[in-house]
Amino acid sequence: MKKELLIASALISTMGVASVAEAVTATMSGSHKTGLKGTDTDANADSTVSHLVQSNFSVSLAETTDGGVGIATSFMLTNESSAGGTHTAGLTLTFTDGSKLDLMKAGNAAASHDVAVPGGAGEAGVTITSSNNAQTGLDFFAEATAIGIEWHSAADFMADGLKVGASISVDDGAAPVASVALESGWGVGATYVTTAGDTTVTVGGGYANSEYKDLGTDPSSPSNGFHVGFSAVTGNLTVAAAYASGDDVKSNPDEEIADATVSKMGVKYVAGDITLSVGYSSGEAKDNATFGTAGTTTDAKDVTDAGISYAVASGVTANLGWQNADSKDEGASDTSGGTSWYIGASMSF
């Protein structure tokens, strides 16, 4: 009996070692946010206050081949942020020269080279009417299907401080049915980082183009545009600005968004455990339900954000945020604009 127990123990031990040796490296990360959000729109006589709880938990898997090529992917177990849903990434290959290649669900290279512009803190926000198609993000035109690849160069590509990227995605066969469907897309982008005295300057930009297909009599319509931006960091102070221009296609209901422009600027200052930030975004666009025909009136959004973040402890941050939004739909002011505030805390690991 003693001999049998020893053999069983040795077998279990051997199996355990083999299991560990064959396993990829897994890391976990996530966050939990809780707080109060108040909103006072131009349409309401009284402001509303709601309790927000947002959580996400994700797992990253990675391993390196004997040839030095890294293979990585990830999946999300839960995501209760404003975007909602869970997400599964494609595969990312990292090569020995530092370059990377994203396979499947790769995204658009133009979006990968946005310059970060400071804004508010927490979850303050005003929901503008859905008929207002003015944009406030820099990469509203940078779409991609799940069947695509994106290449990221290594750092210092052809010049110190330069990184570039390119992506392409193809038709996944999705039928447009009652709405348009994305058929294909491609994008390019670049980021350049340099120093001037005590200041680190980052310049980024990108261009993208996509094609949509339509089930009805309307012709297929393109989505395309560019963005460019810069940020300057001197000590604890960050100043940034960016601009984007292009056309986009909106589905359900189908609309063509033409002559869209976005201007963004922001400032951030870090004083010990406290971060102060303020940002401003202004967007305009002309929309029309008939593809190939530009709209005649302009939608507009002007959004101002401000925030204070305090690092309470490692991984714990208290946030106080404020936002004011003005909306014009088809050239006329509407009542969906207003102000919003947020006070809460986030814990991350």
In the predicted structure, residue 51 carries a pLDDT above the cut 80:
yes
Give the three-class secondary structure for 59: strand
Mean pLDDT of 246-260: 82
Report the distance separating Cα 263 and Cα 134, nearest Å.
Answer: 12
In the predicted structure, residue 15 carries a pLDDT above the cut 80:
no
pLDDT of residue 222: 78
The CB density around residue 224, as the number of other CB atoms within 10 Å, is: 19
Tell me, yes or no, whether 119 lies in a domain.
yes
pLDDT of residue 85: 62
Q: Which of 38-42, 108-112, 304-308, 323-327 has the lowest mean pLDDT?
A: 38-42
Tell me, yes or no, whether 11 lies in a domain.
no
Mean pLDDT of 254-281: 93
What is the 8-class DSSP label of residue 273? T
Residue with tokens 């009652």: 178
Tell me whether residue 40 is exposed, middle or buried, using C-beta atoms within 10 angstroms of its C-beta: 0 to 12, 13 to 18, 19 or more: middle
Confidence of residue 305 (pLDDT cuts 50, 70, 90): very high
In the predicted structure, residue 262 carries a pLDDT above the cut 80:
yes
Report the distance separating Cα 136 and Cα 301, nearest Å.
Answer: 7
Tell me, yes or no, whether 3 lies in a domain.
no
Report the distance separating Cα 340 and Cα 48, nearest Å.
Answer: 9
| Residue 18 falls in which region: left (phi positive, over 0), alpha (psi -120 to 50) or beta | alpha
Q: Across-strand partners of 70? A: 64, 94
The average confidence (pLDDT) of the chain is 86
CATH number of the domain residue 309 falls in: 2.40.160.10
In terms of average pLDDT, the best of 5-14, 33-42, 208-217, 232-241 is 232-241
pLDDT of residue 7: 40
Tell me, yes or no, whether 196 lies in a domain.
yes
Evaluate whether 119 touches 307 at the Cβ level (below 8 Å). yes
Q: Distance between terminal CA atoms of the chain?
A: 47
Give the pLDDT confidence of 114-127 residue by residue, as tens digits: 999 999 988 898 88
Q: Which of 88-92, 105-109, 144-148, 318-322 has the lowest mean pLDDT?
A: 88-92
Residue among 225, 220, 287 nearest 253 (CA): 287
In the predicted structure, residue 294 carries a pLDDT above the cut 70:
no
| Integer angstrom CA distances of residue 37 from 122, 252, 322 | 9, 29, 10
pLDDT of residue 4: 40
Tell me, yes or no, whether 22 lies in a domain.
no
pLDDT of residue 255: 79
- Model-level pTM? 0.84
Residue among 220, 100, 77 nearest 166 (CA): 100
Query: In total, how many domains does the chain have?
Result: 1
The CB density around residue 220, as the number of other CB atoms within 10 Å, is: 14
Residues 6 or more apart whose Cβ sits within 8 Å of residue 216? none
Give the pLDDT confidence of 183-235 residue by residue, as tens digits: 889 999 999 999 999 999 999 999 999 988 876 655 566 789 999 999 999 99
Report the distance separating Cα 213 and Cα 183, nearest Å.
Answer: 6
Tell me, yes or no, whether 199 lies in a domain.
yes
What is the percentage of the chain residues whose pLDDT exceeds 70? 87
pLDDT of residue 16: 44
pLDDT of residue 73: 92
What is the 8-class DSSP label of residue 208? E
In the predicted structure, residue 163 carries a pLDDT above the cut 90:
yes
pLDDT of residue 208: 96
In the predicted structure, residue 12 carries a pLDDT above the cut 60:
no
Query: What tokens appear for 221 in the block?
Result: 């319509």
Q: Across-strand partners of 229? A: 204, 242
CA 208, 214, 217: angle at the middle one, nearest 5?
130
Tell me, yes or no, whether 207 lies in a domain.
yes
Query: What tokens appear for 20 in the block?
Result: 């560990």
Tell me, yes or no, whether 177 lies in a domain.
yes
In the predicted structure, residue 20 carries a pLDDT above the cut 70:
no
Report the distance separating Cα 140 and Cα 144, nearest Å.
Answer: 11
Q: Which residue has the higher pLDDT, 224 or 172?
A: 224
Range of the domain at 103: 31-348
Which secondary-structure segment (H or E) carries 7?
helix 2-22
Evaluate whether 299 touches 330 at the Cβ level (below 8 Å). yes
Residue among 285, 218, 230, 281 nearest 254 (CA): 218
| Integer angstrom CA distances of residue 88 from 113, 120, 184 | 22, 28, 21
Query: What tokens appear for 149 in the block?
Result: 């690849």
